[in-house]
Amino acid sequence: MAGRAQPVSAWPGTSAAITLAVLILGTLTAVALRAETGAGLGRAEWAAIRFTLIQAALSGLISVTIAIPVARALARRRFRGRRILIALLGVPFILPVIIAVLGLLEVFGRAGWISDALGLLGFEPIRIYGLHGVVLAHVFLNLPLATRLILQAWQEVPAERFRLAAQLGCDGRAMFWLIEWPMLRRILPGAFAVVFAICLTSFAVALTLGGGPRATTIELAIYQAFRFDFDLGRAALLSGVQLILTILAAALALWLATGTGFGKGLDRAVRRWDGANPVSRTADAAWIIAAALFLLLPLAAIVVSGLPNVLSLPSTVWSAALTSLLVAALSTCLLLLLALPMAFAIARGGRGIVELAGLLGLAASPLVIGTGLFIMIRPIADPFALALPVTALVNAITALPFALRVLVPTARDVVERYGKLGVSLNMAGLPFLRFVLLPRMRPQIGFAVGLAMALSMGDLGVITLFADPDIATLPLQIYRLMGAYRLDDAASASLLLLVLSIGVFWVLDRGGRRHAEA
C-alpha cells in the first residue's frame, strides 16, 4: 500500500520517530562525550560488571528452569481457576519492583514469615541481602514472564501432534522427547535471553537488596557515581558499558527467539493423553501450587502488613501518591503523542526509522537516558527542578516499545481492511482516524494507556537521580521509609501503591473495552 493513496499520513509518525531517535541518541552522545578519556575502569567498576553478568545469568537460568515444569503442568491440566491463575502470572509485570522487594522481605527476610518459622525450630533466620536476595527478587519478577513465554509455545503445538503420538502408543517420556523437547530447545534460549536482558538493566532490586560493594550492579554504580560522588565522567563511562551490554543482550534475545515452529494445525483444543498416572498428576499439582504460593505469598504479606495502618499514613505518603499519579498521567500523555502516530505510520507500510526508533527504548536503559538528560540540561537549567517532567519523559520512552507491540497489529489490520474504502469515500486523514481507526483501536489504546500508567506509577529509577528531599514519588517515598526502618508505614504505602497501580490499569483497560463495545 506504500505506492498508492493512503488513508493516514506517515509524516506525524515519522516526525515522532525522528524526535525520539534524536532525543535518545542525543542523550547517549552526551554521555559518551562526557566520559573521561583514559580514565578507564577501576577494580570496583569491573566488580560491578561481573556481579551484573553473574546475577543476570543466574536469574535467567533459575527462572527458565523453574518455568519449564510449571508451564508443562499448566499445559497438561485443566482445573477450576486455571484462567485466573494464568492471568495472575501477568501481575508481576505491572507490579512495582519496590512492592515485590518489600513483599519478599515480609516472607523471606530476617524478620519474615519463613525466618520466624525457622526460629521456632531452632534455625538461624534467612539472610536475604546480597547475591541470593537479588536473584530471588529477579526470579519472583521474571518467573511469570518465562512461564508465559514457554506456556504460549506449548499451546502453539498443534493438537494433531499429541493425537498422533497417542495413537502410536507413545508414553509420557516418548511424547516429551518427540514433541515437547524440540519445542523447548527452540524457545528456551530466547526466553533465557529476554530474562537476562531484563535483569541486566535492573536497578531497584540491587538498590534495595544489593547489600554492599560486593553486590553492586552497573546501574547501581552509575547511581552512586552520579548521586554521591558527582563523578559524571565515571557515570558516563559506566553508562557506555551498560549500553553495550544491553544492546548485545537485546540482539541475542532477538536472534535466539527465532526458529521454525511445528507448522499449522486445525485449531482444535489441545487434549493431552500423557500424564494420567497418579505420580504425574501429583507432580504437576505440586509445581502449580508451589509457583502460586511463591508468587502470591509476598502480595498477601503486603496486604496483611499494610492494611491496619493504611488510613493513618503520614501526609508525605499521600502527597507522594498524588505526585506519582500526576507523573504517570503526564507520562501517558507523552506516550500517546509518540505511540499513536508511530503505530499509524508503521500500519500504512512505513518501517525503517519508525520501527527502529520504537526499539531504542529497549536498547538504552532509563538510568543511562536520565544521566544523559542531566548532562544536557545542567548547562542551561537546574535539572533537579525538572525532576518530575524528566521522569515522566523517560517513563514514556521506556513504555513505548510495549505500547507499540499492543497498538501496531490492530492498526495494521484496520488499515488493510478499511483503507481502500476510506480513500475511495474521500475519508483519508482526520475523518479516517476519527470514524474508523480510533474507534476500532479503543481496546488496544485502553490497554496501552493502562500499562503505561501502571509502569510509571511503580518506577524507581530516574527519579532517584533528580529528586530532592522535598519531592518524591510513591515508590521513592517507600524506599525512604524502608531506609528509615519504618517498615509498617512502608508496607501500608506499598499496599496503597499496589492498589493504585492495579486500579489505574484495570480502569483504563476496562474503560477502553467498554467504550469499544458500546
pLDDT for res 158: 63
Residue 386: CB atoms within 10 A of its CB come to 15
The CA distance from 196 to 187, in Å, is: 14
Q: How far is CA 133 from CA 52, 147, 277, 350, 399, in A?
A: 13, 21, 37, 45, 27
pLDDT at 512 over 60: no
The pLDDT of 214-229, averaged and rounded, is 80
Residue 167: CB atoms within 10 A of its CB come to 9
Q: How confident is the model at residue 178 (pLDDT cuts 50, 70, 90)?
A: low
pLDDT at 50 over 80: yes
The pLDDT of 175-188, averaged and rounded, is 75
**Among the listed ranges 134-148, 257-271, 321-335, 395-409, which one has the minimum average pLDDT value?**
257-271
Average pLDDT score, the chain = 79
Instruction: Let me know: does 191 contact 64? Beta carbons within 8 Å.
Output: yes
**Of 91-105, 196-210, 270-284, 483-497, highest mean pLDDT:** 483-497
Q: Is the pTM of this model over 0.75?
A: yes
**Among the listed ranges 13-22, 172-181, 310-319, 386-395, which one has the minimum average pLDDT value?**
172-181
pLDDT for res 57: 92
Burial 437-454 (b: 16+ CB within 10 A, else e): beebbbbbbbbbbbbbbb
If one compares 275 and 324, the residue with the highest pLDDT of the two is 324
Residue closest to 110 by CA, chosen among 493, 492, 478, 487: 487
pLDDT at 516 over 60: no
The CA distance from 299 to 98, in Å, is: 12
The CA distance from 238 to 185, in Å, is: 35
pLDDT for res 301: 87
pLDDT for res 515: 47
Helix residue ranges, H only, 156-277:
159-167, 172-175, 181-200, 204-209, 218-227, 232-256
pLDDT at 351 over 60: no
pLDDT for res 328: 93
261 Rama sector, left if φ>0, alpha if ψ -120 to 50, beta otherwise = beta
pLDDT for res 55: 92
**Among the listed ranges 262-266, 292-296, 351-355, which one has the minimum average pLDDT value?**
262-266
The pLDDT of 141-165, averaged and rounded, is 75
Phi first, then psi: give them for residue 485, nearest 5 degrees. 60, 30
Q: How confident is the model at residue 170 (pLDDT cuts 50, 70, 90)?
A: low
pLDDT at 511 over 60: no
Q: Provide the residue type at 138 as one letter.
A: H
Q: What is the dihedral of CA 218, 202, 364, 96, to 10 degrees?
A: -150
Q: Which residues are within 8 A (CB) of 166 and not within 5 positions of it... i.e. 6 or more apart?
A: 175, 273, 274
Q: Spell out the domain ranges in the chain.
A: 1-33+313-518
Residue 273: CB atoms within 10 A of its CB come to 15
The pLDDT of 31-36, averaged and rounded, is 70
**Among the listed ranges 144-158, 206-220, 416-430, which one has the minimum average pLDDT value?**
416-430
Instruction: Let me know: does 452 contact 330? Beta carbons within 8 Å.
Output: no
**SS3 breakdown of the chain: % helix, strand, coil, rounded to 5?**
75, 0, 25
**Of 189-193, 238-242, 301-305, 437-441, highest mean pLDDT:** 301-305
pLDDT at 234 over 50: yes
The pLDDT of 289-297, averaged and rounded, is 88
Interval 400-449: pLDDT, tens: 888 887 888 788 878 777 767 767 767 666 777 777 778 888 888 888 88
Q: Does domain 1-33+313-518 have CATH number 3.40.50.670?
A: no
The pLDDT of 76-80, averaged and rounded, is 77
If one compares 76 and 330, the residue with the highest pLDDT of the two is 330
Burial 229-251 (b: 16+ CB within 10 A, else e): eeebebbbbbbbbbbebbeebbe
pLDDT for res 318: 92
The CA distance from 101 to 211, in Å, is: 13
Q: Which residues are within 8 A (CB) of 27 and not within 5 positions of it... i.e. 6 or more apart?
A: 364, 368, 369, 371, 372, 373, 375, 376
**Among the listed ranges 96-100, 360-364, 438-442, which one has the minimum average pLDDT value?**
360-364
The CA distance from 225 to 234, in Å, is: 6
Helix, strand or coil, per DSSP, at residue 468: coil
pLDDT for res 329: 93
- For residue 125, what is its C-alpha cell? 533466620
Give the DSSP per-residue string, 51-74. HHHHHHHHHHHHHHHHHHHHHHHH
If one compares 272 and 287, the residue with the highest pLDDT of the two is 287
pLDDT for res 261: 46
pLDDT at 156 over 70: no
Residue closest to 93 by CA, chosen among 466, 473, 355, 447: 447
